[in-house]
Amino acid sequence: MAVFTDPSVTGYHTPGHPEAPFRVSKSAERLKAAGHALLPPEKPAADAELLRVHTPRHLETVAKGTFRDADTAFYPQIDAIARTSLAGALSAAGRAEKGEPSFSLMRPPGHHAAPEKVAGFCYYNNLAIAVAGIPGKKVAIVDVDVHHGDGTEAWAFGRENVTFVSLHQVPLYPGSGLKSRGNCRNIPLPPGTHETQYLKALEGALHEVLNSKPDLLAVSAGFDTYKEDPIAQLKLDAATYKRIGKMLAETKLPRFAVLEGGYAEALPLLIERFLDGFFD
Ligand SMILES: [Zn+2]
């Protein structure tokens, strides 16, 4: 069981922006104190890996800052930091392939980033790129962030060997994910959804996912479903995250998860609880 992280990913922030450095620094402190092995990524991410999902134009726009997105700022160092975040996801996927459940504790997150679009605090789609690097296996992507994983769906839709399922609050940013299509299953949840309803929806989703007979599980782990999250309105308790992690572990599939959203001060605790179940 490995947690991949790197202190350099705390090196950008705009004051007042919820996607802040404490998300990784405080979580790393807490996981270390709880006895988790924190490791740096095993190797840097290469252009060839980014190009499995993104276009050359997209790589150029992130490096030069020629994109425009109201939520997603340009920083001169963001290309390097986003690549470190990706490297964590790639390392976690590599461990999962060897049968070791793993977690990438990094930022920026990735699930809103589409092949040619920066969006919603995301520059490169860490999870999609990691899944694209697992050839010859059927992969089930489960996105439990409170927001629809629109960037991941844009890549996954119609792709053989990939099943995508997203549970998310509606109405909420980015406004998509109202209906399922093809290999992409979307489960909209109303504001105020609490543990019982949430776990029931997740159970149904996992049941469908297992029907596709996947070889591996890739999880977009967002924690903005928490009752005190400042930017969404679901009502999960801290204890719920252990149950979510455990339900994912009970699939008995090789698995890895990457950090997506989660903006409450309690994030380090929520991640610790999730790993208590996910690594079980
Ligand atoms: Zn989110």
Residues 6+ apart with CB under 8 A from 72: 118, 119, 120, 121, 122, 123
Residue 44, token pair as written in the block: 């840097």
Structure confidence by residue, pLDDT tens digits, 167-202 = 999 999 999 999 999 999 999 999 999 999 999 999
Sorting pLDDT into bands at 50, 70 and 90, what band is 239?
Answer: very high
| Continuous H helices in 45-136 | 47-50, 56-64, 78-97, 126-132
15 class by beta-carbon count within 10 Å (0-12 exposed, 13-18 middle, 19+ buried):
exposed
Q: Tokens at residue 25, please? A: 């620094």
For residue 162, give the nearest of 171, 153, 170 by alpha carbon: 153
Tens-digit pLDDT profile for residues 11-65: 999 999 999 999 999 999 999 999 999 999 999 999 999 999 999 999 999 999 9
Tokens encoding 176? 């998509």
Distance 123 CA to ligand 1 centre (A): 14
What 3-state class would DSSP assign to 165?
strand
Q: What are phi and psi of 140, to 5 degrees?
A: -100, 125
How many structural domains are present in the chain? 1
CA of 147 to the centre of ligand 1 (A): 4
pTM of the model: 0.98
> What is the predicted pLDDT for the residue at 228?
98
- Cα(139) to ligand 1 centroid in Å equals 22
Residue 171 tokens, joined: 């109405």
The b-or-e profile of 264-275 (16+ CB within 10 A means b, else e) is bebbbbbbbbbb
* Ligand 1 center to 61 CA (angstroms): 23
Q: How far is the CA of 222 from the centre of ligand 1 (A)?
A: 6
Q: Which domain holds residue 43?
A: 2-278
What's 206's domain CATH number?
3.40.800.20
Whether 112 sits among the annotated catalytic residues: the reply is yes
Catalytic residue among 36, 54, 112, 168: 112
Distance 143 CA to ligand 1 centre (A): 10
Distance 111 CA to ligand 1 centre (A): 8
Cα distance between residue 207 and residue 200, in whole Å: 11
pLDDT band at 135 (very low <50, low <70, confident <90, very high): confident
What pLDDT is stored for residue 223 in this prediction? 99
Mean pLDDT of the chain: 97
